[in-house]
Amino acid sequence: MKKQAGITLIALIITIIVMLILVAVTVTTAVQSGLFGHAGDAVQEYEDAQETEKDMENQFSTNTTNGTNVTGLDNIVEYYTNSQSGE
């Protein structure tokens, strides 16, 4: 008889069963720890922070002070710093 090399069907089935058990344990742990809920909360906080950042950018994009148009947050900070120091 010719000897064949390779994976037997039994070894393949056992491997699949072990992998399914590991997946079941992992999913159960993730669900019980609230991982998916925390991920959803983090997405919402991220979106809120982006919206706040856009609002601040719009607020500081153009600022008129004493008849002088100042654009950009860096320029606004520089303008107020210079006007406070008396320059």
Question: Residue 40 and residue 31: Cα distance in Å, rounded?
Answer: 13
pLDDT tens, position by position, 9-32: 899 999 999 999 999 999 999 888
Q: What is the pLDDT averaged over residues 40-54? A: 90
pTM: 0.43
pLDDT tens, position by position, 70-82: 666 666 677 677 7
CA distances to 4, 62, 69, 75, 77 from 84, rounded to whole Å, are 87, 19, 17, 14, 10
Question: Residue 72 and residue 80: Cα distance in Å, rounded?
Answer: 12
